[in-house]
Amino acid sequence: MNSNLLHQVWEVIETTQTDMLTQLNDNQLVQVLVTSLKDRNQLPKNEEANAKAYIHSRLLLIRELAQSRRDLCCPLKVKVAIHPPLEVRTQDLIAG
């Protein structure tokens, strides 16, 4: 694969919804990404097998990047609780 095609592969990955990247099975994900490349007219017919093999070999990385992207956009909300509840009386603050 040439560098232009590699660039196009990663551009498609970056613009694909994170849910798709993390929830589809391996074969479905490879097919979705290859179809996206074809739809953009970025995938020569003689490179399709190479693109599929490359994407398949990078699935773990693709999924980890997608998860990181999701975490940056939608971090988990964590509730912080103080146990036992902290009681502060006004006179304690003044005496402080």
20-34 pLDDT per residue, tens: 999 999 999 999 999
50 versus 91: the higher-pLDDT residue is 50
Cα dist from 82 to 65, 70, 86, 91, whole Å: 34, 29, 7, 21
Q: Are 62 and 21 in contact (CB under 8 A)?
A: yes
| pLDDT of amino acid 84 | 54
83 phi, psi to nearest 5 deg: -120, 130
| pLDDT of amino acid 94 | 58
pLDDT of residue 45 exceeding 80, the answer is: yes
pLDDT of residue 77 exceeding 90, the answer is: no
Output the pTM of the full model: 0.72
